[in-house]
Amino acid sequence: MKSFFLLVLQIVLLSSITDAQKLVTKKRMEQVYEEVKTPFKYGIVLTAPDSTKMADSPTIFQMNGQWYMTYIIFDGRGYETWIAESQDLLHWAAKGKIMSFTKDGWDANQKAGYPSLIDINWGGSYQPMKYEDRYWVSYLGGSVKGYEAGQLGVGMAFTNDLGSTQELTRLPQPVLSAFDSVARWYDNKTIFKSSIIYDADKKTGHPFVMYYNAAGKETNGKPSFESIAMAVSDDMQKWNRIGNRPVITKGRGICGDAQIVKKGKLYILFYFGYNWEDGNGGAFDRFACSYDLIHWTPWDGKNLIEPSEKYDQQYAHKPWVIKWKGVVYHFYNAVGENGRVIALATSKDLRNQ
């Protein structure tokens, strides 16, 4: 009996050690903050085609020495996906659409795309990887007209030329939906933006990992809230949820729009927050860190980006962060006197360039 209790005690201690090792120390979190912070707001870098429309959700990647940004435009009917190009990450020119409205289908009026499998290494190439000789794009899809209206889900699309304005080819049905029989309590109302990475180390046991934000139904009179959750795949088409709880949540408001980067053995997840308990106003960008892609330690210090200028006085959120030639570029969605636009903050003052 004594040996049995000793065995139980060893298991408990081992479990505690393992859980502790999953946490990222405060010192390491502070080092990350110093590395990724961008105190210099450069300003607006991209707007919608006219003032009646809204630009949102930038994703930045590089191919053949050219920088590209996909982003989404809302015109009152729903989302369409556009692409822009740049030589210097500061000056951007719109090229056109890559995902447009269609007459019918589960995604007829909502197609908000996010390129997948981009090199996640901090200071890396930021080039998208092909799988099965295709570039892949996940997207927020829906059939109802309006701003993120109706029951949204995650769709998958692909192309052989991600830098062009040719329309993407879409899979016929969503790959994640609140209607799924295995939907969780935190994603059984609607599913929003997704971000997919390639994990060569298969930390989850699978090469493709999706982070998505979703909301669950109201329960016991409590309003629904938006959290970040995970799904995995072996083929980019069949996706399975991981776990029974979100990986990033505040239990109210919004945690959303994850972007993953890898610095050495550490993973950094950039995301935005809105309507949290601690009184942060507007919408703002944060980060969390992990060693295994599953257990995340949220940063508890200053916001990376928050409202401070007339063009982002309401919201400064939805991050895409890269490091290039010694400079950190933090692209984000700004909402203020210029409407909803794409703005940029940097680790060095580039406003005179």
Average model confidence (pLDDT) across the chain: 92
Whether 2 shows a pLDDT value over 50: the answer reads no
Which pLDDT tens digit goes with each residue over 82-122?
999 999 999 999 999 999 999 999 999 999 999 999 999 99
Q: What is the pLDDT of residues 304-317, one digit of tens each?
A: 999 999 999 999 99
Tell me how far apart the alpha carbons of residues 134 and 121 are, in angstroms, rounded to a whole number.
21
Identify how many contiguous H helices and E strands the chain contains and give both numbers.
2, 21
Is residue 351 included in any domain, yes or no? no
pLDDT given at position 282: 80
The two three-digit tokens of residue 334, written as one number: 């700004």
Whole-number percent of the chain with pLDDT over 70: 92
> Letter for the amino acid at 225?
F
In a domain, 34, yes or no: no
Asked if the structure places residue 197 within a domain, the reply is yes
Q: Could you tell me if 198 and 132 are in contact, meaning their C-beta atoms sit under 8 angstroms apart?
A: no
Q: How many domains does the chain have?
A: 1
The whole-number average pLDDT for the span 281-307 is: 95
Judge whether residue 151 has pLDDT over 80: yes
- Is residue 12 situated within a structural domain? no
Please, which pLDDT band fits residue 221 given cuts at 50, 70 and 90?
A: low
- Residue 51, pLDDT score: 80
User: Residue 278's pLDDT band (boundaries 50, 70, 90)?
Assistant: low
Question: How many CB atoms are closer than 10 A to CB 189?
Answer: 18
Least confident piece of the model among 40-44, 144-148, 198-202? 144-148
User: Which residue, chain included where needed, has tokens 């060693």?
Assistant: 291
Domain membership of residue 335 (yes or no) is no
Dist CA 211 CA 116 (whole Å): 11
Size of the chain, expressed as the number of residues it contains: 353
Q: Which domain, by its residues, includes 188? A: 61-298
CATH assignment of the domain containing 88: 2.115.10.20
Residue 88 domain-assigned (yes or no): yes
* Burial bucket for residue 235 (CB in 10 Å: 0-12, 13-18, 19+): exposed
Contacts of 246 (CB under 8 A, 6+ apart): 186, 227, 228, 229, 255
What is this structure's pTM?
A: 0.92
Q: What span, in angstroms and rounded, lies between the C-alpha atoms of 340 and 51?
A: 9
Half-sphere exposure of 188 (CA within 13 A, CB side): 11
Q: Indicate the Cα dihedral angle 302, 311, 315, 88, nearest 10°.
A: -70
- Looking at per-residue pLDDT, the higher value among 49 and 268 belongs to 268
Using the structure block, give the residue that is written with the tokens 């390129």. Answer: 115
Helical ranges in 259-349 per DSSP H: none
Contact 211, 230 (CB under 8 A): yes
- Apex 346 CA angle, 214 and 320, nearest 5: 20
Q: Name the 3-class secondary structure at 72.
A: strand
Q: Are 289 and 266 in contact (CB under 8 A)?
A: yes
Better-predicted residue by pLDDT, 31 or 148: 31
* Signed CA dihedral, 307, 48, 54, 62: sign only: negative
| pLDDT for position 30 | 98
Whether 20 maps to a domain, the answer reads no
What confidence tier does 302 reach under pLDDT thresholds 50, 70, 90? Answer: very high
Query: pLDDT tens digit string along 318-353?
Result: 999 999 999 999 999 999 999 999 999 999 999 877
Domain assignment present for residue 8? The answer is: no
